[in-house]
């Protein structure tokens, strides 16, 4: 790629990623310094196309970014009006957990809104463009441009390459996008962000990041069942005590329900399938009631950064900084990261305006500004809750969470993550194999039918964006020790062990990929490398749902 002649474009600030963090950074930059030239690129075919509907938005950062967001017709139309939590003891029984709001601040959703996050990002993009930000969807950041140990931009992905990497008839080389400062807002496990952390050793002296996989379905349900503003969370069955996770269920829009299930990727049993756990959870009465009689209209999955404050890396480096879930600002107990991501983008903008004025190589004030922000205070209060589940198991950790929440995290200790998620798997021979029920195609479904609802578009002959660094490792480690865990943890059927009765080998169905990046995280030897595919590829979730 380096020998190809490329067009160059130069800006003051380049932003990689068109989610809440990147768009908020762009908007805040223009509010503070209207003359600053800003380019924002997004790998999806349009802003919001990789974000399926259904999220609870806490408007704290939005109130700061646009105090007049109601007059600007922000798509926050469904305020939360009722919430419930359940512990599921088995496939039939449940216990309602009283939500005592003063003692359970993470579960207090008063003043929050159930939104289509994709539509919200589309609205943010319109505000950014109105301010003069150049927004370019369909362009993926493929390579870092580093000169004199400083990031000076990125190279976008080439278009029209054949599967073997050769130039096809419609080949168009990627561009060099150069800037004084580059903001990386790629979201969880961004491919360029991962390279940055290695290049500038940003993870030194912090805990390993730990992740979850969130699998989401959007349903249209009968009108008589629809309760706009109702949200429900559950934990317990079908997961065992040592596996972190649970479900959410949000009623919003026109008879829509967002149903999702999160599984912590620090689980140890390689036979576990997060997708299948999500499917069978829908048979529990407290969930089944809401979905039965409805129809599933969309499907997605995404990795989530769950490490919390102790896993946040160094945030700045020469030439740029990390924002949003690329840095790991998710509030895990709340299952919310939009407000913290937006705030990190806004703080990043303030730091860059200062750096532009002083001509600093590195916008170092960002780290200190974030530490003084309400994001740091919020994450510090809940820093022990996620690691408590890994340390104690679900039952004891739930009791600890009650205590920790009551004192707002004001304890003299901090629990730590000692290992990466890929280091947690046990050998398949040491674990109980899990037999999952067959899909009924009414309430529960297969991966194949689910992937169809993601409207995936990967050009058939484009290069495979999922790389095995060493082909031989799969058979000796993944198959012989763990019995191909990637064929179960992938929620889209990308990885498939074939010829298992003869000479087992791995088949990669890259056209199924929904960009969750779980494989990049959970592979035992980190042998799978997820790279950005051709710009515009991947899921396509329409607006208006």
Active site residue 338: yes
Cα–Cα distance list, 465 to 83, 462, 508, 533 (Å): 41, 9, 10, 5
Provide the sign of the torsion angle of the four alpha carbons 272, 275, 280, 281, taken in this order: positive
| Residue among 308, 413, 314, 436 nearest 364 (CA) | 314
Which of 122, 189, 302, 386 is an active site residue?
302
Which of 296, 373, 516, 537 is an active site residue?
516
Size (the chain), residues:
545
Compute the C-alpha angle 249/253/259, nearest 5°: 20
Dihedrals phi, psi of 243, to nearest 5 degrees: -110, 120
Which of 490, 510, 532, 537 is an active site residue?
490
| Residue among 160, 196, 154 nearest 175 (CA) | 154
Compute the C-alpha angle 113/117/118, nearest 5°: 150
Which of 60, 513, 532, 537 is an active site residue?
513
Which of 281, 338, 344, 532 is an active site residue?
338
Helix (H) or strand (E) holding 39: strand 38-42
Which of 24, 519, 532, 537 is an active site residue?
519
Active site residue 178: no
Q: Looking at 404-519, which runs of residues are DSSP E strands?
A: 466-468, 495-498, 505-508
- Check: CB of residue 57 under 8 Å from CB of residue 339: yes
Active site residue 302: yes
The structure tokens listed for 356 are 């532009």
Which of 24, 45, 53, 243 is an active site residue?
53
The Cα–Cα gap between 174 and 432 comes to 48
- Check: CB of residue 48 under 8 Å from CB of residue 122: yes
Active site residue 513: yes
The structure tokens listed for 272 are 């576990």
Query: What single DSSP character describes residue 208?
Result: P
Active site residue 39: no
Q: Under 8 Å CB-to-CB from 242, ≥6 apart: which residues?
A: 267, 268, 393, 394
Query: What single DSSP character describes residue 225?
Result: G
Enumerate the active-site residues: 53, 302, 338, 490, 513, 516, 519
């Amino acid at each position: 790629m380096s020998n190809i002649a490329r067009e160059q474009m130069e800006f003051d600030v380049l932003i990689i990623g068109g989610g809440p963090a990147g768009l908020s950074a762009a908007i805040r930059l223009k509010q503070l310094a209207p003359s600053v030239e800003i380019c924002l690129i997004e790998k999806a075919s349009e802003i919001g196309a990789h974000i399926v509907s259904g999220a609870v938005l806490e408007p704290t950062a939005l109130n700061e970014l646009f105090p007049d967001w109601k007059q600007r017709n922000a798509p926050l139309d469904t305020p939360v009006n009722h919430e419930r939590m359940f512990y599921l003891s088995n496939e039939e029984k449940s216990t309602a957990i009283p939500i005592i709001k003063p003692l359970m601040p993470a579960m207090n959703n008063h003043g929050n809104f159930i939104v289509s996050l994709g539509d919200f990002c589309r609205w943010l993009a319109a505000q950014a463009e109105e301010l003069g930000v150049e927004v370019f969807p369909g362009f993926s950041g493929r390579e870092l441009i580093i000169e004199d140990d400083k990031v000076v931009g990125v190279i976008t992905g080439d278009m029209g390459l054949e599967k073997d990497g050769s130039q096809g008839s419609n080949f168009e080389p990627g561009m060099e996008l150069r800037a004084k400062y580059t903001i990386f807002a790629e979201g969880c496990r961004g491919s360029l962000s991962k390279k940055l952390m290695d290049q500038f050793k940003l993870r030194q002296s912090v805990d390993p990041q730990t992740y979850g996989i969130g699998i989401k379905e959007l349903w249209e349900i009968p009108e008589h069942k629809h309760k706009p503003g109702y949200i429900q969370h559950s934990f317990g069955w079908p997961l065992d005590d040592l596996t972190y996770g649970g479900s959410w269920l949000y009623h919003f829009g026109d008879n829509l329900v967002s149903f999702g299930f999160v599984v912590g990727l620090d689980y140890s049993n390689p036979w576990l399938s997060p997708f299948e756990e999500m499917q069978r959870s829908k048979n529990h009465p407290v969930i089944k009631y809401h979905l039965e009689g409805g129809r599933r209209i969309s499907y997605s999955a995404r990795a989530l950064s769950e490490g919390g404050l102790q896993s946040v890396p160094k945030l700045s480096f020469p030439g740029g900084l990390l924002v949003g879930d690329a840095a790991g600002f998710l509030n895990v107990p709340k299952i919310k990261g939009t407000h913290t991501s937006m705030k990190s983008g806004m703080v990043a903008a303030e730091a860059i305006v200062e750096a532009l004025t002083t001509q600093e190589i590195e916008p170092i004030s960002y780290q200190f500004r974030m530490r003084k922000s309400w994001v740091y205070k919020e994450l510090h209060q809940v820093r022990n809750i996620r690691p408590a589940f890994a340390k104690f198991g679900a039952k004891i950790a739930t009791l600890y969470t009650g205590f920790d929440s009551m004192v707002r995290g004001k304890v003299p200790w901090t629990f730590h993550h000692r290992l990466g998620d890929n280091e947690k798997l046990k050998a398949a021979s040491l674990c109980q194999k899990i037999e999952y029920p067959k899909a009924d195609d009414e309430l529960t479904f297969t991966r194949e039918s689910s992937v169809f609802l993601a409207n995936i578009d990967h050009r058939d002959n484009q290069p495979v964006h999922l790389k095995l660094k060493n082909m031989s490792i799969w058979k000796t480690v993944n198959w012989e020790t763990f019995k191909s865990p990637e064929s179960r943890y992938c929620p889209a059927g990308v990885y498939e062990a074939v010829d298992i009765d003869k000479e087992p080998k791995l088949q990669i169905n890259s056209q199924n990929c929904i960009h969750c990046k779980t494989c990049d995280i959970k592979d035992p030897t980190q042998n799978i490398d997820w790279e950005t595919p051709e710009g515009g590829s991947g899921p396509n979730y329409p607006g208006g749902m």
